[in-house]
Structure 1
Amino acid sequence: MDRTAISGAADLRPDPFALAAGLAAHPSIRGKLDIALATKGLGLSTGSQGAPGDDAAAMPDGAGGWDLFAGEGFMPAFVAHDPWFAGWCGVMVNLSDIAAMGGRATALLDAVWAPDATTAAPLLQGMRDASAAYGVPIVGGHTNLHSTALNLAVSVTGKAQALIRGSGARAGDVLIAAIDHRGSYRNFDNFCAALDAPPARLRGDLALLPELAEAGLVTGGKDISQGGIAGTALMLAEASGCGLRIALDDIPLPDGAGLDRWLRSFPSFGFLLTARPAHVDDICRRFAARDIPAAVIGEAIAGSRVEFASGGLVAPFWDHAARPYLSLKPEHSDA
């Protein structure tokens, strides 16, 4: 494609080639490659129990629903830099993983390593504050106060009546981003819209996801994790065995956020969802009713490429067939 074809006012549009190249090399995106090493070492695939690679493991509960299990470990630099916020995030991100599956969280467990009780205190307080805000109890865990450094891992259980799978996107679906913009950057690329929100709002916002699942309105989806929109879209595409074309010009941005940073940012409330075109208005209306911007930012396509499009240009970001990302090959493929 001729990259000189766009001129005039269109010059203000983002350069999809520069964005694609920069993000493909960014640590926020490439850090997810570690998952492939773990799944290989454990002998896991998409056919293993719980469908590894999804936001939470889903196991039939014997009563027509699903038991959900998820867990998160945190970067030591993040925990050391802002231990209270790391504790809060330990709760928040796990609840997001359960919601992303169409579930409702039931309980949390933590594992904390620290040199002493004083060092651990803000981390524990952050978890306690978030547990109270979201209304999900911390029911146990593991504590070591004789470690050389402060570290955190948190896990969660949940229940679902209907699932949102990270492998459900199909060519012809639209790609919707639903992200709470009522916040600001806290540190690194973490965009937080949760700390000043009333607890009732936090709980009601997460409840949107199981409501969408139970209404059968979405075909697939994931919560936007470290790696942002770009990395999450890649995981969704690979697990689904299709491609995704992201329309950069259609991505809503919060005040003060540049597109490059936003594409790799971790939001406190953010989901990528796929749906049939007929359901878009209903989905976006439900988020809008809670003052959460939701917009179509692209489409699922045949093939294996995640692409960035802007102003008539289409740039390849990642081809998961040529370069596996999580290396969890789907059982089907639109490629």
Structure 2
Amino acid sequence: MYREIYPGVYEVDILNASDEDLVKISEEMGLNLSLDEMKVIKEYFKKKGRNPRDIELQALGQAWSEHCCYKSSKYWLKKYLLGFKTDYVISTEYDAGVVEFDEEQAYVVALESHNHPSAVEPYGGAATGIGGILRDVLCMGAQPVALVDPLFFGELSTPYEKLPPGIKHPVYLLEGVVAGIRDYGNRVGIPTVAGMVFFDESYLTNCLVNVGCVGIAKKDRIIPSKAGGEGDIFILAGGATGRDGIHGVTFASAELTDTESTRSAVQLGNPIMKEPLIHACLEIVEKGLLTGMKDLGGGGLSCAVGEMALAAGYGAEVWLDKVHLKEKDMKPWEIWISESQERMLLTVKPKHVDEVLYIFRKWDVPASVIGVVKGEKVLRVYYKDWLIYEMDIEFVTKGPEYCRATAEKREKVEVDEVKEPEDFAKVFLKMMSHPNVASKEWVIRQYDHEVRGNTVLKPLQGRIGFETHGDAAVVKPTESWRGLAITADVNPWMTRIDPFWGTASAFDEMVRNLVAVNSRPHSFVDCLNFGNPEKPERMWEFVESVKALGWMSKEFGLPCVSGNVSFYNETPYGGVAPTPTLMGIGIVEDVRKAVTSNFKKEGSEIVLVGETKREFGGSLYSKVTGMKCNVVPKTDPKVLKNYAEAMLEAFKKFKVLSCHDPAEGGVAVALAEMAICGIGFEVDLSFTELFSESNTRWIVEVKNAENFVNFFEEKGLRARVIGYTGGDKLNYGRFSVELSEVEKAWRSGFSKFLR
């Protein structure tokens, strides 16, 4: 079945292979391709009149993986989400979204997953996730300015004896992931300014590590992820190519069944190489020496070369023996598909090659010429003068597309068993100490979120020593006072009950967080984490989520400018809760007018903006009390838009001292988070107003509350004074708790599980 035709290159006999043989070939070579896909490949080579070489089959395994070609998701993404753009969106077609920031600058934004690698090797998996997302922004010609890290793990209180065989404990995974993000981000000098950490039993055997990046670039220096034209030269720059990361995308495109033997699929990061690589690439961009640039992520060279050439309508020729290696005995197919980190692929005109290579040498970054763009849409790969690969570039790169079966899983009957607790204070303190709500200072303080000196609103806000968490971070990426607000949001408890309304709620929360800091919602990106798409119930969850995102995006008028789909987040023990992570970007007209979440003065009036309904599905209250409810909060994008516009107008008309949106735990928890700065309050709220997690609401500390409320009522919107700040107690009317007791529960609820 395998015949060596050149040293290290094998011909694979698929023309004479039976169906059983085709399946065996896919398994033995680690292709992770289905029988039907192998049959399509067989037919292609039958028409060519020859058998494929191992390097060709390996390239198809990478290019046709779920991770690379989105074969299960692109039908639904095109149908429901993609296509809506606003006039300020510059580009959505490459590795990251490009959006107008001001007359001269654009911001570049991307959000990706690194789930399977982090489950296998949490430190390296998370670190290389950061490295990869930095490259996605860098390849557009942008200087990275901020990082984001939404993380999802099993419950920290899980007893070790209840861990399935071979599964690592959530505490071990959390500590390793945070260390990986910390060490890579801090060493490369880019601040991690926002994110979230969420715990749920569904992530016990498959944690999720999502990472985002925002960069800034000059509009006239945006670099496309495609070649410029025939005769352009391919230059490979950065780290050496090794055996780390081989089969990374095929590993990520299957259920996670083994966390030990798959370690070779995890890449090895090197932030010390990344930092000069960033400088060198940006210098080359600034001098206008490039026609295109792409990072080497999933599939390595095998995907990047073809994608750059095809995007421009061309083919390519590559000389594989010109690639600088970590290990000299690597086989050609290993070189071709390796996902070794810190590598960038550039296309330049022949006249600029020497200057580009000189700049890389100046920054002590290895770089070499490895190929050329050709007019014919064929990709040919040579190794020591042997032609070892020759395929039509469109056949390799476009990949299959499926409209997979779906089967609804949601409960049809409305269930609401929620009732008032016997002891309000006891339940409330339990909510404040829940790891999903409690202070994440243990994580945040490990990140240098102030490096580069542009972080205006930090993850922790308020009086020094008494900080609480903010709704969004704000960075000032240029010399002007204009800024970017950044937030990351999703509540998997809600999406698990109802993926449509749970996803719509995530969008609502994203908007609320951006508005709360006095920023205008401008764009968003998504990272859609789901289970096995070949299972109809999992596919239904995905489709419902995409429907909700598309509806909210178009009706609100907020464009999705980039995204990622991560399927197969599943093990034999079950799949993860549907986790459509959203990263929102807002424009702050003047960072000096950004609003923080902590109470500022005693004697201020507290206003609740928005309408509270009895909606406890996926709520923190129902979680800690064990009371069942499947009534997930609803939202309306047009109503959300009206409230958001009114809030932003109110910030200009009134003296707003602080603002915070109720999320996990509802108004009760949100008020406590505002008070942790050291100022108590007295309010009078009903049980539902305290703990329901209804959408489209904000809590505002304001002067002239009567005029503030009238402003909203004149617009037909809800707002009312609910109480006053002051004292050292949190008095909710139904119960009262000492501020010191609440702060203790909040500060220790998460960190008590960690070293």
Please tell me the TM-score bracket, short chain as reference: 0.7 to 0.9
For 2:176 and 2:297, how far apart are their aligned partners in 1?
24
Q: 5 Å matches for 1:43-122?
A: 43=78, 44=82, 49=89, 51-76=91-116, 78-117=117-156, 118=171, 119-122=173-176
Say which SS state the counterpart of residue 210 (structure 1) adopts.
helix
Alignment partner of 1:270 out of 343, 347, 350:
343
For 1:177 and 1:13, how far apart are their aligned partners in 2?
23
| 1:221 aligned partner | 293
For 2:73 and 2:90, how far apart are their aligned partners in 1?
15
Say which SS state the counterpart of residue 108 (structure 2) adopts.
strand
Given that 2:323 and 2:370 are in contact with CA atoms closer than 8 Å, whether structure 1 keeps it comes out as yes
C-alpha displacement at 1:37, in angstroms? 4.8
Name the structure, 1 or 2, with higher relative contact order (CA <8 Å, separation 6+).
Answer: 1
C-alpha displacement at 1:220, in angstroms? 0.4
Q: 5 Å matches for 1:227-238?
A: 227-238=299-310
Amino acid at match of 2:287: A
Summarize the Cα distance change of 1:326–1:231 in structure 2 as closer, same or farther, 3 Å threshold.
Answer: farther
Cα-to-partner distance string for 1:123-157 (whole Å, 9 max, x where unaligned)? 12211222211111111222211142211111111
C-alpha displacement at 1:27, in angstroms? 4.1
Residue 296 in structure 1 maps to residue 369 in structure 2: yes
Given that 1:176 and 1:273 are in contact with CA atoms closer than 8 Å, whether structure 2 keeps it comes out as yes
Q: 5 Å matches for 1:194-273?
A: 194=270, 197=272, 202-256=274-328, 257-273=330-346
| 1:133 aligned partner | 187
Q: TM-score, normalised by structure 2?
A: 0.38
Given that 1:113 and 1:147 are in contact with CA atoms closer than 8 Å, whether structure 2 keeps it comes out as no
C-alpha displacement at 1:208, in angstroms? 1.3
| 2:264 aligned partner | 188
Say which SS state the counterpart of residue 274 (structure 1) adopts.
strand
For 1:288 and 1:61, how far apart are their aligned partners in 2?
33
For 2:283 and 2:9, how far apart are their aligned partners in 1?
35
Alignment partner of 2:70 out of 1, 23, 35:
35
Cα-to-partner distance string for 1:10-33 (whole Å, 9 max, x where unaligned)? x55867962442323334763444
Report the more deviating stretch, 255-264 or 27-36. Answer: 27-36
Amino acid at match of 2:61: H
For 2:59 and 2:241, how far apart are their aligned partners in 1?
28
Given that 2:315 and 2:375 are in contact with CA atoms closer than 8 Å, whether structure 1 keeps it comes out as yes
Cα-to-partner distance string for 1:45-69 (whole Å, 9 max, x where unaligned)? 7x99453441211122222222100
Amino acid at match of 2:230: A
Report the more deviating stretch, 82-91 or 16-25. Answer: 16-25
For 1:312 and 1:89, how far apart are their aligned partners in 2?
33
| 1:4 aligned partner | none
Say which SS state the counterpart of residue 72 (structure 1) adopts.
strand
Summarize the Cα distance change of 1:206–1:246 in structure 2 as closer, same or farther, 3 Å threshold.
Answer: same
For 1:50 and 1:40, how far apart are their aligned partners in 2?
24
C-alpha displacement at 1:290, in angstroms? 3.0
C-alpha displacement at 1:306, in angstroms? 1.9
Alignment partner of 2:209 out of 142, 148, 152:
152
Identity %: 21
Amino acid at match of 1:239: A
Residue 22 in structure 1 maps to residue 61 in structure 2: no
Report the more deviating stretch, 287-296 or 78-87. Answer: 287-296
Say which SS state the counterpart of residue 25 (structure 1) adopts.
helix
Say which SS state the counterpart of residue 169 (structure 1) adopts.
coil
C-alpha displacement at 1:185, in angstroms? 3.4
Alignment partner of 1:287 out of 360, 381, 384:
360
C-alpha displacement at 1:316, in angstroms? 1.7
Amino acid at match of 2:103: A
Given that 2:125 and 2:267 are in contact with CA atoms closer than 8 Å, whether structure 1 keeps it comes out as no
Amino acid at match of 1:194: N
Alignment partner of 1:313 out of 374, 387, 391:
387
Cα-to-partner distance string for 1:295-331 (whole Å, 9 max, x where unaligned)? 111111113222213426373234216862499xxxx
Say which SS state the counterpart of residue 284 (structure 1) adopts.
helix
Q: TM-score, normalised by structure 1?
A: 0.82
Over the residues paired in the alignment, what is the CA RMSD in angstroms? 3.0
Summarize the Cα distance change of 1:323–1:101 in structure 2 as closer, same or farther, 3 Å threshold.
Answer: closer
For 1:240 and 1:164, how far apart are their aligned partners in 2?
13
Say which SS state the counterpart of residue 308 (structure 1) adopts.
strand
Stretches of structure 2 lacking an aligned partner (at least 5 in a row)? 12-51, 157-170, 246-262, 402-755
Given that 2:64 and 2:400 are in contact with CA atoms closer than 8 Å, whether structure 1 keeps it comes out as no
Summarize the Cα distance change of 1:121–1:312 in structure 2 as closer, same or farther, 3 Å threshold.
Answer: closer
For 1:158 and 1:193, how far apart are their aligned partners in 2?
20
Given that 1:220 and 1:274 are in contact with CA atoms closer than 8 Å, whether structure 2 keeps it comes out as yes
Summarize the Cα distance change of 1:147–1:281 in structure 2 as closer, same or farther, 3 Å threshold.
Answer: farther
Given that 1:55 and 1:97 are in contact with CA atoms closer than 8 Å, whether structure 2 keeps it comes out as yes
Given that 2:151 and 2:209 are in contact with CA atoms closer than 8 Å, whether structure 1 keeps it comes out as yes
Summarize the Cα distance change of 1:288–1:33 in structure 2 as closer, same or farther, 3 Å threshold.
Answer: same
Summarize the Cα distance change of 1:321–1:62 in structure 2 as closer, same or farther, 3 Å threshold.
Answer: farther
For 1:317 and 1:293, how far apart are their aligned partners in 2?
29
Amino acid at match of 2:65: R
Summarize the Cα distance change of 1:115–1:247 in structure 2 as closer, same or farther, 3 Å threshold.
Answer: same
Choose 1 or 2 for highest CA Rg. Answer: 2
For 2:141 and 2:400, how far apart are their aligned partners in 1?
22
Residue 143 in structure 1 maps to residue 143 in structure 2: no
Say which SS state the counterpart of residue 363 (structure 2) adopts.
coil
Given that 2:63 and 2:396 are in contact with CA atoms closer than 8 Å, whether structure 1 keeps it comes out as no
List structure 1 segments (4+ residues) > 6 angstroms apart after TM superposition. Answer: none
Amino acid at match of 1:225: G
In the comparison of the two structures, how many residue pairs are matched? 313
Say which SS state the counterpart of residue 42 (structure 1) adopts.
helix
For 1:87 and 1:193, how far apart are their aligned partners in 2?
9
